[in-house]
Amino acid sequence: MRILSLAMAGVALGAGLFAAPARAFTLQPHSAVYEVRLLRASQSSRIEDARGVVRIDWRETCQSWAVSQRFQLVMVLADGNTTESKTEFRSVESKDARRYSFESTTERDGRQVESWKGEVERAGPDAQATAIYSAPPGEKLTLPGGTMLPMQQMAALLALAEKGGGQIDMAYFDGPRPLDSPFTTHNVVSDKRRLLAEATKGATTAPFDHPWWPMRLAFFERGSQAAEPGFEIGAEILDNGIARLLQFDYGDFAIEAIAVAGELAERPHC
């Protein structure tokens, strides 16, 4: 199960987008806590309820962004049993999108079921590259030119929002699931920035007291010819890159992460 891909996710908008430093938005280092709950579940999913918590931290240095994400989810199944999953994800991404390292582990009911670790280095923000994994050792993955990294994608989505929104397809890589990566994403960004007063869920105090845009991202596994995506993310993203609401749709069930607490983090003195 992919829980959070918004650091979050990307496309080849062209190198010019990232070459120009001037832009109307500024990504904000922060910590945020989200309450997770079940939105819907079909009978075939065998899921009766789901509850959990997500913590996201963005830390900024003069050269890079460090992102960490901790996710815990408890599902109640139709037979009365429960299953608990825990995922920890960490990444460091250079601001020029040329270097990226990641580490992700998932436990289910106390047993580790996934572990991914690796790094990417490329000549430019839209250059072809190879992701080299140390866990599992020896795994390699070619990333076509134009593949976006998480913070790079967030900047691209906000740039599209500032230009009036629209639809765009993107290639995206964050590290886990190399057999399915890089994902192709179809992204829809609203043409209207919503005011804080229009928010109906989640915290509205700092750092969430900003205007926001509704976004919808559909993720297709590498090589997929399917008409429907593997999963979708609906999001309300503030003009500083912070998510105030995330919805994850896996087809036969969907969960929602609502911001309940957060704080700003210090910026570096460069």
Question: What digits encode the pLDDT tens for the residues 95-150?
Answer: 999 999 999 999 999 999 999 999 999 999 999 999 999 999 999 999 999 999 99
User: Strand pairing partners for 142?
Assistant: 130
Q: What is the pLDDT of residue 24?
A: 61
Q: Does residue 270 lie in a domain region?
A: no
Q: Does residue 9 lie in a domain region?
A: no
Please report how many Cα atoms fall inside a 13 Å half-sphere around the Cα of residue 127, on the Cβ side. Answer: 13
Model confidence at 225, in pLDDT bands (50, 70, 90)? confident
Q: Does residue 259 lie in a domain region?
A: yes
Establish whether the linkage from the previous residue to 178 is cis, with ω within 30° of 0.
no
How many domains in the chain? 1
Range of the domain at 234: 15-264
Compute the distance between CA of residue 9 and CA of residue 70 in angstroms, rounded to an integer.
Answer: 18
Q: How far is CA 62 from CA 83, 266, 268, in A?
A: 41, 12, 6
Nearest one of 101, 86, 88, 162 to 131, comparing CA atoms: 101
Q: Does residue 227 lie in a domain region?
A: yes
Q: Does residue 209 lie in a domain region?
A: yes
Q: Does residue 269 lie in a domain region?
A: no
| pLDDT > 70 in the chain, percent | 91
Residue 64 predicted with pLDDT over 50: yes
Q: What is the pLDDT of residues 229-261, one digit of tens each?
A: 999 999 999 999 999 999 999 999 999 999 999
How many other CB atoms sit within 10 Å of the CB of residue 1? Answer: 14
User: Strand pairing partners for 167?
Assistant: 188
Residue 9 predicted with pLDDT over 50: no
Q: Does residue 237 lie in a domain region?
A: yes
User: Strand pairing partners for 42?
Assistant: none
Q: Mean pLDDT across the chain, nearest whole number?
A: 90
Q: Does residue 4 lie in a domain region?
A: no
Q: What is the pLDDT of residues 16-41, one digit of tens each?
A: 233 333 456 799 999 999 999 999 99
- The predicted model scores a pTM of 0.90
Compute the distance between CA of residue 264 and CA of residue 269 in angstroms, rounded to an integer.
Answer: 16
Reading the block at residue 171, the tokens are 């290639």
CA 265 to chain centre: 19
